[in-house]
Amino acid sequence: MFKSSALRRLAREGYPCVVNEAKSANHPILDRFDVNGDLQDSEDYMREFGQIHPGYIHDGLLAIDLVIAKLANEAAELPSFTEPGLQEICEKLFTRLFTDNDINVILPSDFEEFISRTSNSTMEKNKARAVYTAQYHLYSALGAYCKWKIHRISTFNEMVALVKKLAVIQPPHFELRYTDETGNGLFKADYHAAGWDLPIANMVVIRPGEIKKISTGIRLEIPAHHYGLLLGRSSCFNRRLAVSPGVIDSNYRGEILICVRNTGPDVVVISPGDPCIGQVIIQRYAPAIVDPRKTLSTTERGNNGFGSSDVQPSTS
């Protein structure tokens, strides 16, 4: 499994890894399981935030071996050990965990570790069958609920390759720090919204054709290798307001200002507490190495632009 020493090595080499510093457990989520094998408070957290608690996931890597041990243990202690019964336990453990969550799962490269751990607590008569069948149905359950294929790794190089892939497939969670002079803060309509709505700090009157800078009172500390994309909200159309898009660099610490133009015939008054007109989306970018050349590779499209690639609708 991903040990802290390996994670630290990855982190030192610049890969997006979170090192678990907990000393009381061998696995990051060990203490988050109750005696029945369910995630504590997972339903409440998912109901409120629409995602698994970040403590369960370390850059998309889920410590799944403990789940297997719990699964096999419960299966072995069933009054009548049957495969349908085990499938029911799989559903119970993984439905809430993987529905509407695109997360990657790493299975331990060495099954002996969790098999021996399971053996200590599993009823002897059902032990071998429980562990074997639990593995089989675990693959089936994960295959049904995970968007991406299950990976098994055995070397550090395979680990590095997968971390690189995870950084592209599923960017890790990050902390977005900010200060707020309005008391309203950043907020979203719901978890699935891409952008954070920006508050309005002061009342502004915008006459027809006039351009104004709207104060938000928000200052951001965007993580390295990320930037903020400032955009208008679709509701601005109803007020005939055009918001100028902008890029917020990670080293900028000034107040976020929204540039707005009144394209309508009427005066528009924007006040604190009004619906937000701007939003910021935090995106990751890959630093580019500039390589000037005298010539570029040729393509079939070449210099054609301005509608040259438009597809005409079929008339048949």
Measured between alpha carbons, how far is 18 from 114 in angstroms, rounded to an integer?
23
CA-nearest of 94, 102, 103 to 42 is: 94
Are 38 and 131 part of one and the same domain? yes
Position 51 in a domain: yes
Q: Do both 162 and 184 map to the same domain?
A: no
Q: 45-86 pLDDT, tens per residue?
A: 444 544 444 443 332 333 344 454 555 555 555 555 455 555
Question: Is 273 contained in some domain?
Answer: yes
Taking each helix axis from N to C terminus, what angle separates 83-98 and 65-76, rounded to the nearest 10 degrees?
150
Q: Are 69 and 181 in the same domain? A: no
Q: How far apart are CA 175 and CA 155, in angstroms?
A: 30
With respect to residue 300, please indicate whether it lies within any of the assigned structural domains: no
Judge whether 163 lies within some domain. yes
186 lies in the same domain as 141: no
Distance between CA atoms of residues 314 and 298, nearest Å:
30
Residues 280 and 155 in one domain: no
Q: Is residue 183 part of a domain?
A: yes
Q: Determine, yes or no, domain membership for 304.
A: no
Could you say which of 119, 149, 169 is where a domain stops?
A: 169
C-alpha to C-alpha distance for 197 and 279, rounded to whole angstroms: 4
* Domain identity same for 45 and 182: no
* Residue 116 and residue 241 in one domain: no
147, 210: one domain = no
Could you give the CA distance from residue 246 to residue 278 in angstroms, rounded to a whole number? 11
- Same domain? 57 vs 156: yes
- What is the distance between the alpha carbons of residues 246 and 228, in angstroms, rounded to a whole number? 8
Strands 226-232 and 246-248: antiparallel
- Residues 151 and 10 occupy one common structural domain: yes
Q: Do residue 162 and residue 185 come from a single domain?
A: no
In a domain, 96, yes or no: yes
Which of the listed residues 169, 202, 227 is the one where a domain comes to its end? 169
Which pLDDT score is estimated for 316? 56
The secondary element (H helix, E strand) that includes residue 13 is: none
Has this prediction a pTM greater than 0.75?
Answer: no
Phi/psi at 230 (5° precision): -90, 120
Whole-number pLDDT of residue 177? 84
Instruction: Output the domain CATH number for residue 259.
Output: 2.70.40.10
State the pLDDT at residue 59: 29
Number of domains in the chain: 2
HEC string for 186-202 = CECCCCCCCCEEECCCC
Same domain? 85 vs 115 = yes
| Tens-level pLDDT at each residue, the chain (316 residues) | 334 455 555 556 555 544 444 333 333 333 333 323 333 344 444 445 444 444 433 323 333 444 545 555 555 555 554 555 555 555 555 444 443 333 333 333 333 344 444 444 444 445 455 555 454 444 444 443 333 334 444 555 665 565 555 544 444 556 788 898 888 888 887 767 889 999 999 999 999 999 999 999 999 999 888 899 999 999 999 999 999 999 999 999 999 999 999 999 999 999 998 888 999 999 988 777 788 889 988 988 888 888 777 766 666 5
* Reduced 3-state DSSP string for 239-287: HCEEECCEEECCCCCCEEEEEEEECCCCCEEECCCCCCCEEEEEEECCC
The answer to whether position 56 is within a domain reads: yes
- Residues 177-188: tens digit of each pLDDT: 889 888 888 888
Domain interval for residue 40: 4-169
Of 284, 309, 276, the C-alpha closest to 225 is 284
Question: Of the residues 169, 196, 215, which one is the last residue of a structural domain?
Answer: 169
Q: What is the pLDDT of residue 151?
A: 47
For 191, list phi and psi in degrees, rounded to 5: -60, -35
